[in-house]
Amino acid sequence: MDRNLGVLISGRGSNLQAIIDAIAAGALDARVAAVVSNRPDAPGLERARRAGIETMYLSHRAYPSREDYDRAVVDELRARQVRLVCLAGFMRLLSPVFVQAFPNAILNIHPSLLPAFPGLEAQRQAWAHGVKVSGATVHLVDCDLDAGPIVLQRTVPVLDTDTPETLAARILVEEHTLYPEAIGIVLSGGWRVDGRRFLRFADAARSVEPAHRTT
Ligand code: GRF
């Protein structure tokens, strides 16, 4: 129960799949208690069903305000004893209602080295800006977009031959190992937030090895 995850998606769900696979492989000690989507046709819902995970479609259009919607999602997650909420391509900004319901217990993955290139199409933004290095970031979620304390980051070089699509594909490969690793760190405890800084106690940092890094 204290390792119950709630994963929120809006689309493809490849990061959800990476979490499911890491758990199945024994690389991540956790359980996905529920997958929530705000879109009925999100392909990630099918991935969850295949893995025998409870899915929920909650339409934001059915609620009069962002806060009402967030309260409904929070209620569903609490009913399933979710300890850590993982945003995995969930295309909505969370209101304070949601953020305060799970203090320092909501994670997001973003396909750039934050604070560079927050928001949509981060890989294209990075490519168009001409940076030589980009990557992925897992961070705690606060009320601002792509802004909370950073748990883990991984770099990906930007090649002269890259298009936004090839860069996004290489970043995605890294996302799929970075997210389970970050979830493992957060679930294991032994960390604190000091201002904007996510800090691990020395003994905790030693006890959680990068679970299944492929490079
Ligand atoms: C990923 O690139 C993630 O970094 C961003 O949204 C995308 C979701 O992809 N937040 P998927 O649905 O996990 O395949």
Q: What is the residue-averaged pLDDT of the chain?
A: 95
Does residue 135 register a pLDDT over 90?
yes
Please state the atom number of ligand 1 nearest to the C-alpha of residue 88: 13
The confidence band for 215, taking pLDDT boundaries of 50, 70 and 90, is very low
Q: Is the CB of 184 under 6 A from ligand 1?
A: no
Of the chain, the percentage scoring pLDDT greater than 90 comes to 93
The confidence band for 111, taking pLDDT boundaries of 50, 70 and 90, is very high
Total Cβ atoms within 10 A of residue 24: 10
The confidence band for 207, taking pLDDT boundaries of 50, 70 and 90, is low
Antiparallel, parallel or unpaired: β 84-87 and 4-9: parallel
In angstroms, what is the span from residue 87 Cα to ligand 1's centroid?
A: 9
What residue's CA is closest to ligand 1, atom 14?
14
Antiparallel, parallel or unpaired: β 150-157 and 133-140: antiparallel
In angstroms, what is the span from residue 3 Cα to ligand 1's centroid?
A: 22
3-state DSSP percent of the chain in helix, strand and coil, to 5: 40, 25, 40
Does residue 3 register a pLDDT over 50?
yes
Q: What is the pLDDT of residues 56-106, one digit of tens each?
A: 999 999 999 999 999 999 999 999 999 999 999 999 999 999 999 999 999
Q: What is the pTM of this model?
A: 0.94
Catalytic residue among 110, 139, 176, 212: 110
Q: What local confidence, expressed as pLDDT, does residue 202 receive?
A: 80
Q: Is the CB of 89 under 6 A from ligand 1?
A: yes
Q: Is the CB of 12 under 6 A from ligand 1?
A: yes
Q: What is the pLDDT of residues 172-203, one digit of tens each?
A: 999 999 999 999 999 999 999 999 999 999 87
Of the chain, the percentage scoring pLDDT greater than 70 comes to 94
Does residue 5 register a pLDDT over 90?
yes
In angstroms, what is the span from residue 169 Cα to ligand 1's centroid?
A: 11
- Ligand 1, residues 152, 172, 176, 177: which to mutate, most atoms within 8 A of Cβ? 172
Q: What local confidence, expressed as pLDDT, does residue 209 receive?
A: 54
Given a contact cutoff of 8 angstroms between Cβ atoms, the answer to whether 126 and 112 are in contact is yes
Does residue 211 register a pLDDT over 80?
no
Question: How many alpha carbons fall within 13 Å on the CB side of residue 152?
Answer: 19
Mean pLDDT of 102-124: 98
Q: What local confidence, expressed as pLDDT, does residue 205 receive?
A: 67
Question: Is residue 110 among the annotated active site residues?
Answer: yes
In angstroms, what is the span from residue 92 Cα to ligand 1's centroid?
A: 13
Helices and strands, counts by H and E, the chain: 7, 9
